[in-house]
Amino acid sequence: MVPDLADLLATSRVVSLPMTTRFRGITVREAVLIEGPFGWTEFSPFVEYDDEEATAWLRAAIDFGWRAAPEPLRDRIPVNATVPAVPADQVPAVLARFPGTRTAKVKVAERGQTLTDDVERVRAVRDALGAEGRVRVDANALWNLDEAEHAIHALAPFDLEYVEQPCATVDELAELRRRIRYMGIPIAADESVRKAADPLAVAKAGAADIVIVKAQPLGGVHAARRIVAEAGLPAVVSSALDTSVGIAMGAHLAAALPELEFDCGLGTVALFAQDVADEPLRPVDGSIPVVRPSVSSARLDELQADTERTQWWLDRLARCHRILERGLAL
Q: Which residues are annotated as a binding site for Mg(2+)?
A: 138, 164, 190
**∠ at Cα 203 (202, 209), nearest 5°?**
100
Burial of 323 from C-beta contacts in 10 A (0-12 / 13-18 / 19+): middle
Using CA atoms, how far apart are residues 121 and 107, in angstroms rounded to an integer? 9
In three-state form (DSSP H/G/I as H, E/B as E, the rest C), the secondary structure along the chain is CCCCHHHHHHHCEEEEEEEEEEECCEEEEEEEEEEECCEEEEECCCCCCCHHHHHHHHHHHHHHHHCCCCCCCCCEEEECEEECCCCHHHHHHHHCCCCCCCEEEEECCCCCCCHHHHHHHHHHHHHHHCCCCEEEEECCCCCCHHHHHHHHHHHHHHCEEEEECCCCCHHHHHHHHHHCHHHCCCEEECHHHHCCCCCCHHHHCCCCCEEEEECCCCCCHHHHHHHHHHHCCCEEEECCCCCHHHHHHHHHHHHHCCCCCCCEECCHHHHECCCCECCCCCCECCEEECCCCCECHHHHHHCECCHHHHHHHHHHHHHHHHHHHHHHHC
Rg (CA), the chain: 19
Facing residues of 77 across strands? 288
Q: Is 107 a catalytic residue?
A: yes
Strands 39-43 and 26-36: antiparallel
Residues belonging to the active site: 107, 214
